[in-house]
Amino acid sequence: MRKLLDLLVCKLALSVSRDGCEGSHEHDKTEHICGRPLGLCFNQTSGDLYIADAYMGLLIVGPQGGLATEVVTRAHGIPFGFTNALDIDQELGAVYFTDSSSQYQRRNYISVILSGDKTGRLMKYDPESKQVQVLLENLSFPNGVALSKNGDFILLAETRHCRIMRYWLKTPKAGTFQVFAQLPGFPDNIRRSPRGGFWVGIHSRILWILKLILSYPSLGNALLKLPLDITKAYSYVAKWTGSGLIIRLSEQGVILEMLEDTSGNRWKSVSEVVEKDETLWIGSVKMPFAGKYKI
């Protein structure tokens, strides 16, 4: 994975073989051709596995495995540029997912943050009607999503603003949204905890210099005009700096737990946290392994 997902070899049925995508290769250089799965979720009734691939859109694999097939790649006529995360309503079968930007691809994710891009969307796919509904738009790097236990709301990580948003699906508040929690860093994926609440993986804390840059989009855009690949430069620096941070939020958005590896030696750039049998499984964008932490 990096997000526990590099273990999945994702292929489109439309193109069984793509040059450079088979066997061992440099994924970062070919991901826009070969695909990069960022989110996975099973429909527990049908056994189908839905995949949010950064470049291929929303895909599906049947219960027996095999080739992933295309489900949807655009909404309201606008192609997905950076399909990111998903969750499934296990009662209704609806798939909720994010497109982080229609202007920038995953390999340029730092540009989404620095530019102040607001083309991100939260969407809902209905397998029965095969229709896509845009629930929220004009978002700044929408990322992870997680449905509440009873399905009355869905949480959405808005990475650039270091916050979690809550969008109401039921109750008289349906169709409205508000800030659920403000966080000390950039949130990635969200997962429900069996003990209640939600686990959030934090990519990194927001430093004062970055907070200053993000306050002025013109400054961020000026940095993007420099003669260098800003995403690669950031990735290089991130290998040697930063910490690993995970946070558990209550159903009301209150921080219940915060675990951090300040050294960044055991984990850093956390992308996802899954809790099972009193153990936390921790994915990372940068580390070449999954972390395991006994609660």
Quick one: which of 125, 154, 158 has its CA closest to 139? 158
The C-alpha atoms of residue 58 and residue 97 are separated, in whole angstroms, by 8
Q: What is the mean pLDDT of the chain?
A: 89
Q: For 254-265, what is each residue's pLDDT tens digit?
A: 999 999 988 777
Q: Cβ of 268: how many Cβ atoms within 10 Å? A: 25
Predicted TM-score (pTM) of the model is 0.90
Which residues sit opposite 259 in a β-bridge?
Answer: 246
Question: Regarding beta strands 69-72 and 74-75, do their DSSP bridges make them parallel or antiparallel, or are they unpaired?
Answer: unpaired
**What would the two tokens of residue 126 be?**
């209905």
**What would the two tokens of residue 225 be?**
């005009």
Q: What does CATH list as the number for 27-294?
A: 2.120.10.30
Overall average pLDDT of the 106-131 stretch: 95
Which pLDDT belongs to residue 3? Answer: 43
More reliable by pLDDT, 7 or 164: 164
Quick one: which of 61, 81, 86 has its CA closest to 71? 61
b/e per residue 52-72 (b: at least 16 CB within 10 A): bbbbbbbbbbeeeeeebeebb
Residue 155 pLDDT level (bands cut at 50, 70, 90)? very high
The C-alpha atoms of residue 212 and residue 133 are separated, in whole angstroms, by 35
Residue 245 has pLDDT above 80, yes or no: yes
Q: Cβ of 262: how many Cβ atoms within 10 Å? A: 11
**What would the two tokens of residue 102 be?**
């229609």
Overall average pLDDT of the 207-211 stretch: 83
Q: For 52-81, what is each residue's pLDDT tens digit?
A: 999 999 999 999 999 899 999 999 999 999
Domain boundaries, the chain: 27-294
Q: How far is CA 149 from the centre of its chain?
A: 20
DSSP code string of the chain: --SS-TTS---BTT-S--TT-SSS--HHHHHHHH--EEEEEE-TTT-PEEEEETTTEEEEE-TT---BEEEESEETTEEPS-EEEEEE-TTT--EEEEE--SSS-GGGHHHHHHHT---EEEEEEETTTTEEEEEEEEESSEEEEEE-TTSSEEEEEEGGGTEEEEEE-SSTTTT-EEEEEE-SEEEEEEEE-TTSSEEEEEEEEPPHHHHHHHH-HHHHHHHHTSSS-HHHHHHHHHHHS--EEEEEE-TTS-EEEEEEETT-SS--SEEEEEEETTEEEEEESSSSS-EEEE-
Q: 31 near 107, Cβ under 8 Å?
A: yes
Q: Is 211 exposed, middle or buried (0-12, 13-18, 19+ CB in 10 A)?
A: exposed
Which pLDDT belongs to residue 5? Answer: 41
